[in-house]
Amino acid sequence: MQSLGWQELDVLLITGDGYVDHAAFGIALLGRWLVAHGYRTGIVAQPEWKDTGGPDISQLTRMGRPRLFVGISAGALDSMLAHYTAFRKIRRDDAFTPGGTAGARPNRASLVYANMARAAFPGLPVVLGGIEASLRRITHYDFWSDKLRRSILLDAKAELLVYGMGERAVLEIAQRLEQERGLTGIRGTARMGREEDIPADAPRMCLPAHEDMLEDPGLLVRAASQLERQIHGGDAWAVQPVGGRSLLLAPPAQALSMAELDALYELPFSRKAHPAYKKAIPAEEMLRASITSHRGCGGGCSFCSLALHQGRRVASRSEESLLREAAGLTRQPGFSGAISDLGGPTANMWQATCARAHVCRRTSCCVPKICPFFRTRQGKHVAMLRKIRALPGIRHLRIASGIRADIALAEPGMLRAYTMEFTGGQLKVAPEHCAPEVLKLMRKPRLEIFEAFVQAFYEHSAEAGREQYVVPYLMSAFPGCTEAHMRELGRWLAARHWTPQQVQCFTPTPGTLATAMFYAGTDSRGRPIPVARADAARLRQHHILLKGRS
């Protein structure tokens, strides 16, 4: 602050992650964004919270009282997911903490940090954001306590909650507070209020009341489906009654334009962890040489938080911007010449568009088959990758974030290019399962599509004279999945002489439709489905695959 000539902060941001000045880290991104728009922004990363006499709020006050608000994020993951495995066992490490040490952030970090902020700065607006707040914005099932919890906004006693990608919302919050205007109606935010606060002509949807959900688990499935529609529709308010009050969710924020995304990702990130750290942050090592090309995913998988956070509509950067960032990467000290990943949620959806986005009511752009109005630009994508790989100083370019198999197969020559030119020995693909009933509940493509993809992948690898492998991501204990289904998956793997390496037991993360189905024991239409709820039953399904039983 002294070197910048700042006498005070406008905004203070608190995060549960260690600080890495890289665009893949949310708080670093928002901090750079606010500074670029003229707001003096300070960051406190992983404040100490374990003091026996209570949290040390002096960590928050070292830069003085911020003029406008405090923004809080639990970090890149929900703090409970960061701390516990799918079987509620304590994790030993944390990739977003110096030294990879677990426990640097508290359980339910958003609540702890909000309490610290209120104690440090009485009367100052507290704003929640990040993935933890975003996916807990209404009544949600909390797997770790095995109960429904009300909106995290209420438990944190915060003034506002930002959901989804937060650049537009945090900037408008700062502008309104500076102008001494109210905070109601900011797109991409939730707050307690009155239904009269919603414009009379605005479309709205009424979510089931919190108290009604406690009585009827099936209402959680309905609410999850409604939130999906709100995000995809893009223009409706949502209202949830809770405790005699109303939780108001303004329509989602509009995605940043290509020019805005270019400007955002080309801000002067150092791509380094804070110099005060004595130990490396594992996530920095993984992401330092990576480049983000787009946001959003049209897949709409029922277990994926992207549907409720980034949304299904893809927002992409320009080829020119990606070329500039890649060229800048070659000038970074210690750059090895290898870009570890250039992609997004699904690499081959870069610059994908929907010709009927304003009227679309599908739950997925790709299932049960690829929508004819969902148009990808894979030829342009491959051409862009080749241009970047040809830059002086770049030896290798990978798309480690993975590709969508059904989309790659839909356009002749694309899978061949991805396989022969941009795969670094392994390519991640997520069939998740082989049983048709389970795949349908997951909103995943038919197994025949994955099998055709694998066959073509190995043919192209042989043609290139390269030994390469598909790494299939598989899931056990998904809602609707039985032990018989897992044995079916085990036999399918054995017939192909595959030993599963990436097997994940379904973890009911807050907010997703799959988590609502897990809690309610029904599919999205309210029909009963089998659910392995007890940890013992979940472990049995998991071990069927890990032990290779048939």
Q: Which residues of the chain have pLDDT under 50?
A: 549-550
% helix, strand, coil for the chain, step of 5 = 35, 15, 45
Q: What is the pLDDT of residue 393?
A: 97
pLDDT tens-place string over residues 478-504? 999 999 999 999 999 888 888 777 789
CB neighbourhood size of 468 (10 A)? 17
pLDDT at residue 545, rounded to an integer: 81
Distances (CA, A) of 481 to 296, 304, 441, 485, 541: 27, 17, 9, 6, 9
**542 Cβ partners below 8 Å, 6+ apart?**
476, 477, 503, 505
CATH 3.40.50 range(s) for the chain read 11-190
What is the predicted pLDDT for the residue at 49? 87
* Structure token digits, residue 68: 């406008």
**Cα dihedral 483, 485, 489, 492 sign:** positive
Residues of the chain with CATH 3.30.750.210: 289-424
Instruction: Write down how long the chain is.
Output: 550
Rounded CA-CA distance 366/369 in Å is: 5
Q: Which two tokens stand for residue 394?
A: 């770049």
Strand ranges for 304-445 from DSSP E: 315-316, 338-339, 341-343, 353-354, 374-375, 396-397, 426-432
Distance CA 61, CA 117 (A): 9
CATH number of 426-550: 3.30.750.200
pLDDT of residue 51: 64
How many C-beta atoms surround the C-beta of residue 529 within 10 A?
19
Locate 490 and state its tokens: 């085990």
Q: Are the C-beta atoms of 84 and 144 separated by less than 8 Å?
A: yes
* 514 vs 221: CA distance, rounded Å: 8
Query: Which residues of the chain are in CATH 3.30.750.200 domains?
Result: 426-550
Q: pTM for the whole thing?
A: 0.95
CATH number of 289-424: 3.30.750.210
- From the list 296, 294, 210, 223, the residue with the least C-alpha distance to 253 is 296
- Class of 11-190 per CATH? alpha beta
Q: What is the pLDDT of residue 550?
A: 41
pLDDT for res 53: 64
* Burial bucket for residue 355 (CB in 10 Å: 0-12, 13-18, 19+): exposed
Host H or E run for residue 245: strand 245-249
162, amino acid identity: V
Residue 175's pLDDT is 98
Residues near 359 by beta carbon (within 8 Å), at least 6 away in sequence: none
